[in-house]
Structure 1
């Protein structure tokens, strides 16, 4: 599956911003994060530098203001994190993860229909 991504919770928050914006400066990321949490600009800068070193983001250094973008897609990151969660928290049982998620969170009728289609497809394979 390639290199395993292991972003921290704070790094995931930054990745969420970058996935939405596709590309952003540290200031743009910081301003977005600051709308919902108390975070310092230098903290955001340091985290994004660490993310660059870890290979989570790439950085365009062609201008004075560096522009960052995510290296892995949201979907790839979600797949790797869910796989790791199933293995470490649910003893390899995806069913346990699904039951826990559905039992703890309100699910819309549309989401339930989508889940049912997925289950039907899995049964038919």
Structure 2
């Protein structure tokens, strides 16, 4: 599937939360003030539908949209791309980065060790 822009991803977050929504429901859910114009959000929703992230049910001239891809599946897809692009698919590179840059606590490191033990 095509990658999402930041604006598209923000709208998908609303759909993952609501599961089924009309464009007006999405606008109401956004924290922005003033609220974005209906046509702007409607355009983004139609793009998401064309990209295959949303589908819809028709009620007369109104469309109720729902996610086709789960938030979890999108997260996996995004992480795989991120992992490949920035860490060359190397778990050691990722963990090294996390330890150096994130300043993991001893408790975090112990939790990582336990996860490794359980999955090896």
CA RMSD of aligned residues (A): 2.7
Match for 1:56 among 44, 53, 56? 53
CA distance in 2, matches of 1:28, 1:40: 13
CA distance in 2, matches of 1:106, 1:48: 39
Aligned to 1:29: 26
Bigger radius of gyration: 2
Higher deviation after alignment, 62-71 or 73-82: 62-71
Runs (5+) with no aligned partner, structure 2:
none
Pairwise CA distance, 1:65: 2.3
TM-score by length of 1: 0.75
Runs (5+) with no aligned partner, structure 1:
none
Figure out how many residues of one structure are paired with residues of the other and give that number: 117
5 Å-filtered alignment, 1:67-82, equals: 67-82=64-79
TM-score by length of 2: 0.78
